[in-house]
Amino acid sequence: MDEIFGIPVQAFLGQLLLGLVNGSFYAMLSLGLAVIFGLLGIVNFAHGALYMIGAYVAWLSLEKFGLNYWVALVLSPLVVGALGVLIEKTLLRHLYKLDPLYGLLLTFGLALIAEGVFREQFGVSGQQYSVPELLQGATDLGFMVLPNYRAWVVVASLTVCLGTWFLLEKTSLGATLRAGTENPSLVQAFGINVPVMVTLTYAGGAALAALAGVLAAPVIQITPLMGSNLIIIVFAVVVIGGMGSILGSILTGVVLGVVEGLTKVFYPEASSIVVFVIMAIVLVIRPAGLFGKEK
Amino acid sequence: MSSAVTSNASTPVPAMKSSLSLLTGPRLWAAVFVVLLAAPFIGLYPVFMMKALCFAIFACAFNLLLGYTGLLSFGHAAFMGAAAYATGWLVRSAGWPPELGLLAGLAVGAGLGLVVGLIAIRRQGIYFAMITLAMAQMVYFVCLQAPFTGGEDGLQGVPRGKLFGFIPLSNDLTMYFVVLAVFAAVFLAIVRIVHSPYGQVLKAIRENEPRAVSLGYDVDRYKLLAFVLSTAIAGLAGSLKTLVLGFATLSDVHWSLSGEVVLMTLLGGMGTFAGPVIGAFTIIGLQNFLADRVGSWITVIIGAIFVVCVIAFRRGIVGELLAWQQRRQGR
């Protein structure tokens, strides 16, 4: 068993794992996008920028303050979550009665601002962030060598995703949030402070993006552009999955990451466009998305 | 002719409504056209003017879609860029004359627009924007990897050639008047389209799509045609830009250009004829002015203009002027 379809097993499994890693990031980001869109009606283009800022916060806290990876894992979502509160309170708040396209345009502007500021400060070249000591090295599973950090990323992000799903679908807090999506004024009438809930939802989505950024920091080059390159793929993932279902967006994210990884094995030239091709096919066959509801 | 169709019901979108308006009056347009004709002789740098006019064509095409049909395409750079590459390759490597190169750009814009449009109109509203953005990103990657686009370098050294075989375009002044003629033709065509019965249906779709459906209009066909018209003109703008500047690069297909054209339209005033032109001149002028002064702060400035426009200036320059004028008349 040295080859699968003429591809060495080691390369095949390596790309599969890489696909899973990317898929976990897609899942975390599309989850945040879906939750924000559900409650705020805003397609958050700045999601990629928040992910990028999350990675930079991790890198900066190590370089400037000597704070290690595990601290960054908590600190970065808090910082970016606070930034999310600020953005929602000062800017997004004015847009809820308007056409959703204004939300997209405003957050696009915010993404440009973030990208420009970080490019001015840190340049376009990538920064390295080393894998934390505890997760360095690799485990030999017999049929493949599994880099510990990658395994951790997949496990950690899927745990976070499923935790979010549990929070939203199985707890009373989640029920309130979902009710707020359906009918905010009624929820308000029940004595729940909807504006605070909206702010915290945006902050939560931002924190998820930042967490993905910290998790990604050791496996990618940290650049100011890393967010916008990713967000467009995540948009396609969201269109494919449909924003109606939490579990659906997690699943779509992971599966598309894997498909992308496998395309890299079999037909590398197409790997950067395969997600978009799948999106086009899904739109032709099932316009509402795989898990979306027809309106 | 135009007064009958512009006096319809009020709308939340600050569209061009009054045919008596300062900014739409034929006399003003004649004056603007005279200024544009004289521009190279009164010290305006022709290459800058040509570039700005190409982007004005692009923004007008985009406005036909956003301002008059209510469709936000977030991937319009794909059509401009693909046509820019097509024209560049045909003129440089296949030796086509410039007029055929321009027509080919128009055709590439229309053809690609048909494919993307057929897929994108299957979803409404904000999804439409996300789908067009994703499809445009696909075009970007194709341009990055295809063997004939020159990869990271793009297509360099595209000759302007001779128009119709006997008008050499290498002179900036000659080229300027060709660009101006194309701009005038496109502008009049868009005015004509918007004022036609077809344009009225587009506005109806923008105002209330379910109602247009219930009135028996095949909304998808109308939207698709508007999309293809818009992408064809965007393609023409891209081809023209390639001829003017002599190159087509990856920045012509990049998503940031798709964002810029949205900003030009928003800043100038969407749903007005003059808005996209003013927006294009403002943004291109700003970029030109700031390019070697502020470095990457330009991205921050563009982003900040976006934020300010959305929060406080949704009618855009022309929209605000029209509203101001209406308030004055109402007094």
Q: With contacts defined as CB-CB under 8 Å, which chain A residues touch B296? A: 116, 119-120
Of all residues in chain A, the percent with pLDDT exceeding 90 is: 40
What is the mean pLDDT of the segment spanning A98-121?
91
- The band of A294, judged by pLDDT with boundaries at 50, 70 and 90, is low
Q: pLDDT by residue (tens digit) across A23-59?
A: 999 999 999 998 888 888 888 999 999 999 999 999 9
Chain B interface includes A281 (CB < 8 A): no
The pLDDT of residue B19 is above 80: no
CB B36: neighbour CB atoms within 10 A? Answer: 19
Q: Which amino acid, B169?
A: L
Query: Rounded to an integer, what distance in angstroms lies between the CA atom of residue B260 and that of residue B237?
Result: 14
The pLDDT of residue A261 is above 50: yes
A227, A18 Cβ separation under 8 angstroms: no
pLDDT of B230 reads: 95
Q: Which amino acid, A158?
A: L
Tell me the sheet residues that pair with B167. B163
Instruction: Choose the weakest-confidence range: B69-83, B114-128, B148-162, B192-206.
Output: B148-162
Chain B interface includes A122 (CB < 8 A): no
Among positive and negative, which fits the CA dihedral A204, A206, A210, A216?
Answer: positive
The pLDDT of residue A60 is above 60: yes
B168, B258 Cβ separation under 8 angstroms: no
Establish, for the pair of chains A and B, how many residue pairs have beta carbons separated by less than 8 Å. Answer: 121
Residue B38, classified by CB atoms within 10 Å of its CB into exposed (0-12), middle (13-18) or buried (19+), is exposed
- The structure tokens listed for A130 are 């080393």
Domain residue spans of chain A: 22-285
Query: Rounded to an integer, what distance in angstroms lies between the CA atom of residue A235 and that of residue B99?
Result: 38
For chain A, what is the mean pLDDT? 88
User: DSSP code of A294?
Assistant: P
Among positive and negative, which fits the CA dihedral A95, A98, A101, A105?
Answer: negative
Across the interface, of B135, B142, B310, the residue whose CB is closest to A106 is B310
What is the mean pLDDT of the segment spanning A250-276?
89
What is the mean pLDDT of the segment spanning A178-207?
88
Identify the three-state secondary structure at position A107: helix
Q: pLDDT by residue (tens digit) across B216-226?
A: 999 999 999 99
Identify the three-state secondary structure at position B162: strand
Determine which helix (DSSP H) or strand (DSSP E) holds A140, and give its type and residue range: strand A138-140
**Would the CB atoms of A287 and B123 count as touching at under 8 Å?**
yes
Q: pLDDT by residue (tens digit) across A63-109?
A: 888 888 899 999 999 999 999 999 999 998 888 888 888 999 999 99
- The structure tokens listed for A132 are 């934390």
Q: With contacts defined as CB-CB under 8 Å, which chain A residues touch B305? A: 109
The pLDDT of residue A248 is above 70: yes
Q: With contacts defined as CB-CB under 8 Å, which chain B residues touch A34? A: none
What is the mean pLDDT of the segment spanning A271-289?
87
B57, B183 Cβ separation under 8 angstroms: yes
What is the mean pLDDT of the segment spanning B103-116?
95
Match domain A22-285 to its CATH number in 1.10.1740, 1.25.40, 1.10.3470, 1.10.760: 1.10.3470
| Owner of token pair 């800058």 | B48
Query: Rounded to an integer, what distance in angstroms lies between the CA atom of residue A93 and that of residue A104?
Result: 13
- The band of A293, judged by pLDDT with boundaries at 50, 70 and 90, is low
The pLDDT of residue B23 is above 60: no
The pLDDT of residue B331 is above 70: no
What is the mean pLDDT of the segment spanning B118-141?
89
Q: pLDDT by residue (tens digit) across A150-175?
A: 899 999 999 999 999 999 888 988 88
